[in-house]
Amino acid sequence: MEIIAGILVLLMIASAIAAASFQDLMNAVIASCIVSLLAALLFYLLQAPDVAMAEAAIGAALVTGIFVIAVKRTKRFEE
């Protein structure tokens, strides 16, 4: 179990760094979506199914949707 948690945390940090470094905002948004999704999994591992459910629905779906709409409306690439 700890191994799984460690891998998930590593993946999460990696995708957060990816979100920070991508010049393409759409990619950054997808990376942050992955961060949220992995965070939801970690919540589940931490015995917090309620929060995991909320994080999955909101962090992974709604926030990403909002960001996608916003990026589509503005510039896609970071200057």
Partner 1 sequence: MRKLISIILLGMVATGLFMSISQIPFGEPGERIGDHFINQGVNETGATNIVAAVVVSYRGFDTLGEVSVLFTAAMGLGAVIGLVRRKKTHTPIEPASLIVYTGCRFLFPVILLVGTYIVIHGHLTPGGGFQGGAVIASAFLLMYLGCRGKRIRENLSRGLESLGGLLFILLGVTGLVIGRDFLFSFLPEGEAGNLISAGIIPLIYMAVGLKVGSELTGIIDHLIEDTDELPE
Partner 2 sequence: MNFLSEYTYYIGAFSLIIIGLYIILVKKNLMKVIIGFSIFDTGIYLFLIAVGYLREGTAPVFSKPGLDAGKMVDPVPQALVLTAIVIGVAVLALAVILAIKIYAHYGTLNLRKIKEQRW
- Shortest distance, position 75 Cβ to partner 2, whole Å: 6
* Residue 62: how many other CB atoms lie within 10 Å: 11
Helices (H), the chain: 2-21, 25-45, 49-55, 63-73
The one among 10, 72, 76, 77 contacting partner 1 by CB under 8 A: 72
6 lies in the site for partner 1, by CB under 8 A:
no
Contacting residues for 29 by C-beta, under 8 A, at least 6 apart: 19, 64, 67, 68, 71
Binding status of residue 36 toward partner 2 by CB under 8 A: yes
**Pick from 3, 73, 78, 79: which binds partner 1 (CB under 8 A)?**
73
Contact residues toward partner 1 (CB under 8 A) are 49-50, 52-54, 57-58, 61-62, 65-66, 68-70, 72-73
